Amino acid sequence: MHVYLSTLGCRLNEAEIESWASAFQRQGRRLTAQAEIADLVVVNTCAVTAEAARKSRQLIRRVQRQNPHAKLVVSGCFVSLNGAQALEGVDAIVSNRDKDRLVEIATEGLSLAAMPELATEPGEVFARRRSRAFVKVQDGCRHRCTFCVVTIARGEERSRCIGDVVAQINALMAQGVKEIVLTGVHLGGYGRDLGTDLVELIKAVLNDTDCPRLRLGSLEPWDLSPSFFRLFAETRLMPHLHLPLQSGSDSVLKRMARRCRTYDFEALVERARSEIADFLVSTDIIVGFPGETEREWQEGLQFIEGIGFLHLHIFPYSPRPGTQASRFTDQLPAAIKRRRALEIHALARRNKASVLSAYLGREFAVLWEAPRPVDTEGETRYLGYTPNFLRVETNPPAGLVLENVIRKARLKALGQDGEKLIAEIA
């Protein structure tokens, strides 16, 4: 029994398929990277934008063409919102509410044969060597931003108990994983339903595991308490955060029903930078929100440039059925969204080049990932990340293996693409 797993979308989706991979392996099923030879195909879909929904449909159809004889199970936000619509030939649909039971549902509902003799084989993370693993600690969101369909698709907040999270991380450490990323739909709301909070979870992970590197997924700025930044005194907690801003204009943020204004966001980043060495921040920006005037757009660009983000995740606004913003009457033309997207992508490139250049000459411990050959003569380059999430590339001395190794490197030059730094092993 071969199982092929595929996903698109957020880190939470990645964490979920990694969890399913481990569960299938415990049942004695083999994972495969080839859809064509799979007996079971599982697709985890996304619907955060109209484009993500389109890609989800394409992915489902593609795996059906690649292997029409395999059993097909589909889950994720796209099917949770659309049900069986346009999903001909799917053997089972698993809603977001039932995702934690997907392996059980697939096994029992489709009468899949297992190979118990294989269940004792040690399995790699998601059937491939990985330096980093995503761990889902929370699902759902109690907030209702006017643009967001994920809160509809994911439902109310639900948190995993701290003991279960710690146990999973220790299991991943035993497999050789060097870096853990805690993820959730509303990560900052972790533990509200359990009488605890994210700070206590982070403390437990740092105290009860030997995880060399701990990262946090996307966090809403308003969830960070005054005590939060003191956690970074433990250097295993990486000094980088993804804090969704969505717009640099306060009037747009109000229409989005965001709970953070630009003044609060700027103060939060300044505090983090003052308390955490080499702290960097990334964010999400929505382009062309309904009613966004040219004045608001330029105001937003100015604010975003002033913050100096490492990276911008840029999303042209698309109306999502069921959200408040989809019913706003002042939707913007596609041409305006395209023009503004080009403007902010150019700003993002300038910002990133500026941030990266500021670190030239510095030395950092880098977690190196799998190598990739770059020429026919066998030259190999490694990519990796510094603690504060700078992308780094190196061509090490012959014979030096860096895969899944944390090793210091000196940052020497800005890469030609402006997206990474070229480094020399220290």
pLDDT digits (tens, 9 = 90+) for 183-194: 999 999 999 999
* Structure tokens, 267: 């103060």
149 and 105, same domain (yes or no): no
**C-alpha angle with apex 25: 91 to 218, nearest 5 degrees?**
80
Residue 120 banded pLDDT, cuts 50, 70, 90: very low
Say if residue 309's pLDDT is above 90.
yes
CB 35 within 8 A of CB 43: no
Q: What is 313-355 written as a DSSP string?
A: EEEE----TTSSGGG-S-PPPHHHHHHHHHHHHHHHHHHHHHH
378 and 305, same domain (yes or no): no
pLDDT digits (tens, 9 = 90+) for 76-99: 999 888 766 557 788 889 989 899
Say if residue 377's pLDDT is above 90.
no
pLDDT digits (tens, 9 = 90+) for 251-299: 999 999 999 999 999 999 999 999 999 999 999 999 999 999 999 999 9
160 and 231, same domain (yes or no): yes
pLDDT digits (tens, 9 = 90+) for 310-346: 999 999 999 999 999 999 999 999 999 999 999 999 9
How confident is the prediction for the chain on average, in pLDDT?
Answer: 91
Does any domain span residue 161? yes
3-class secondary structure, 138: strand
179 and 136, same domain (yes or no): yes
Does any domain span residue 253? no
Does any domain span residue 262? no
Residue 110 banded pLDDT, cuts 50, 70, 90: confident
Domain extent at residue 51: 2-118
Say if residue 40's pLDDT is above 70.
yes
* Structure tokens, 266: 């700027």
Does any domain span residue 167? yes
Where is the domain boundary, 323, 342, 358? 358
Does any domain span residue 410? yes
For 263, counting Cβ atoms within 10 Å of its Cβ (0-12 exposed, 13-18 middle, 19+ buried), the class is: exposed
57 and 77, same domain (yes or no): yes
Does any domain span residue 326? yes
> Residue 422 gets which letter from DSSP?
E
Where is the domain boundary, 223, 238, 253? 238
Buried b (16+ CB within 10 A) or exposed e, 303-332: bbbebebbbbebbbbbbbeebebbeeeebb
CA distance 199 to 224: 9
> Which residue's entry shows tokens 């640099």?
248
Give the CATH number, domain containing residue 311. 3.30.750.200
Give the CATH number, domain containing residue 68. 3.40.50.12160
Does any domain span residue 251? no
Give the CATH number, domain containing residue 158. 3.30.750.210
Rounded mean pLDDT, 127-139: 82
CA distance 392 to 367: 9
Terminal CA-to-CA distance of the chain, rounded, Å?
Answer: 46
Does any domain span residue 91? yes
> Residue 137 gets which letter from DSSP?
E
352 and 275, same domain (yes or no): yes
287 and 209, same domain (yes or no): no
Report the domain count for the chain: 4
Structure confidence at residue 79 (pLDDT): 86
93 and 139, same domain (yes or no): no
CA distance 164 to 373: 39
Residue 159 banded pLDDT, cuts 50, 70, 90: very high
67 and 9, same domain (yes or no): yes
Structure confidence at residue 374 (pLDDT): 65
Structure confidence at residue 127 (pLDDT): 40
CB 28 within 8 A of CB 2: no
204 and 140, same domain (yes or no): yes
Counts for the chain of helices (H) and strands (E), in that order: 11, 18
Q: What is 230-275 written as a DSSP string?
A: GGGGSTTB-SEEE---B-S-HHHHHHHT-S--HHHHHHHHHHHHHH
112 and 156, same domain (yes or no): no
Kind and range of the H or E run holding 106: helix 102-109
233 and 323, same domain (yes or no): no
Where is the domain boundary, 86, 118, 150? 118
Task: Decide the pairing of beta strands 280-287 and 312-316.
Answer: parallel
